[in-house]
Structure 1
Amino acid sequence: MYAMKYMNKQKCIERDEVRNVFRELQIMRGLDHPFLVNLWYSFQDEEDMFMVVDLLLGGDLRYHLQQNVHFTEGAVKLYICELALALEYLQRFHIIHRDIKPDNILLDEHGHVHITDFNIATIVKGAEKASSMAGTKPYMAPEVFQVYVEGGPGYSYPVDWWSLGITAYELLRGWRPYEIHSATPIDEILNMFKVERVHYSSTWCKGMVALLKKLLTKDPESRLSSLGDVQSAPYLADMNWDAVFEKALTPGFVPSKGRLNCDPTFELEEMILESRPLHKKKKRLAKNRSKDGTKDSCPLNGHLQQCLETVRKEFIIFNREKLRRQQGQTSQLLDTEGRAGSQTQGKLQDGCNNNILGHACSRGCSS
């Protein structure tokens, strides 16, 4: 089973969100990891753009915080490890997520975490850095605000590890280490980072406190910001990282299977507010097409029509199953060619000095 997200083209154009949708699609089609929400298909029709992704029934961590779930140190320790593997994977693809927070971390039915929402993620190559103000204020690293106010070289992957630290602290304590909200002025936030000290609960073990302190180091150069850094933390010395990757460790919190792990009131409001519900699409599109054929039809303004046509042409259609089949066929072809090549190679080696090592012989025979 999958989950489907759909976005109205006209609304995206009016809100200037098309670029974000395309960026998310571009990034997600190249990713496949056990701790991400993976894209399976993308397609479009006249009205909407569709993304089909992993179905995760455990709800997001924000919902569970609002339900006053008490996350144990053991549960948060495993979350940190799973998320560290996901962030390291993103880093390999030069991706900064820029919005790691409980709202964007979904649980599967067994309680493992999955990062979602890549629409403000960015790709940086080599020594490149990002410089735009992007993210959710309470989870944004100090250097993001500093770049915005003071300019400078920009920021990079360490911002996601700061967000991981804020998220882990909030899961353990029920509130964040800094009293920052979306309306908090930036100069006030920067002053907070300068003068306030983070308070760690005396009930937390020393290893967890030491790990959080390293994730919440204000200087990005000194912050833990790679999988290697996290794995070298004494607190995680006993972790079996292969077992973490394979989801072989049991999470400390498993969502209830007998209930809806989201706010039904909010979901119902979303359905009521949806002006173009999906279940009425077929009838609506047929009506629109019949209108288009009449003389008194009211056409969309020229600029909007042009934008819609651009979206239609540039939209990325994706099919992961088809891609996997093609990759499987390619690997089979390469394997067949490899076997044929090795047989030819064996015949060539038969004509060479049998005392010469195989790899040396192959170079000598092919020249």
Structure 2
Amino acid sequence: MDFAFDARTEELRARLLAFMDEYVYPAEQVAHEQRARLASPWENPPVVEELKTEARRQGLWNLFLPDAEYGAGLTNLQYAPLAEITGRSPQLAPTATNCAAPDTGNMEVLAQFGDERQKKQWLQPLLAGEIRSAFAMTEPEVASSDATNITTHIERASDGTDEYVITGRKWYISGAMHPDCQIFIVMGKTDPDGPDIRRQQSMVLVPRDTPGVTVERAMQVFGYEDHYHGGHAEVVFDHARVPVSNLIGEEGGGFAIAQARLGPGRIHHCMRLIGMAERAIELMCRRAVSRTAFGKALAQQGVVQNWIADARVQVEQLRLLVLKTAWLMDTVGNKGAHTEIQAIKIATPRTVVGILDRAIQLHGAGGVSQDFPLAELYAGARTLMLADGPDEVHQRSLARRELKKYL
């Protein structure tokens, strides 16, 4: 087994690490100060646009897309260490490199399932970082961990026009608050009474300015509004009408498209989470050697040493599992890597939450303050125990697959 990165990965890692040191980390405080002066909290601070320009100039752009026609043409295994690096500054680095969710998943959907008109109208400006997008699946009135529960209706217009009429309520729709968000990918039911519950759903493109689309409010996550990712909104579709040509793929194909979208999204989250854990370990070590309590440095306290050692072991374990999953996705496809994708989705957020929790504890009051990134990182990591399917759903599926061998 060869654990070394290939030459292209090493070259991109070196460039990305330098970009983080020279541009991203210094911009964190600048962005915070600039945001306080913006007319709208959802606008990008000017420094974010500067970072995007510089990243694109350096060729650190659309790294997540394996299709060389649209992105960098990297495999999952090549992208994994790069996504980890951007995870060290999740508020800035993914956006700066045009690798931020939910745009990444939406670009993957359009690249894989969109027709030429849809690609020209929506994929191209997303690839260029000119617009943002949102993915509307989760609903407040049903247990959306089971995607077959969704109740939003996508019906053919009854007046003879070649249109769909969309009615429903969605929430935690990431990116929807951003002023540059111009397009929603909406999942709803076109055949609610169909015999196959996984063929009842479809996905359609709904421009944000469509009459009947109302972004009602921003949803908070542990009190944070997640401005850098365009927020998370509650959105109402009240008889919103779009052309039938806005259908992505075929009617009844929405569930399959969602599964195709979520596989890469799950591993991308896990890659970035490892970067978050590395940032936490770095902050723990710096804090431990710089603070004294009860007559000796925190770094000399046995419990602190145990925290740091355990965190290092856990991160190394997670990284190997994520890299194995990336390799499998590249060699046998997402379906063949299904077990491993579920395993990393269960293990990574849970473990990183624990590391961040100990880092917060080590920082005392500073750990829960705005002066360190730990509280916001914790909120993001804890949310990923719910996003893209809660842990329990993945555990249930994984256990069934294991038990099937013995039945």
Sort the TM-score into its range (normalised by shorter chain): under 0.3
State TM-score, norm by structure 2. Answer: 0.25
Larger Rg: 1 or 2?
1
- Relative contact order higher in (CA < 8 Å, ≥ 6 apart): 1
State TM-score, norm by structure 1. Answer: 0.27
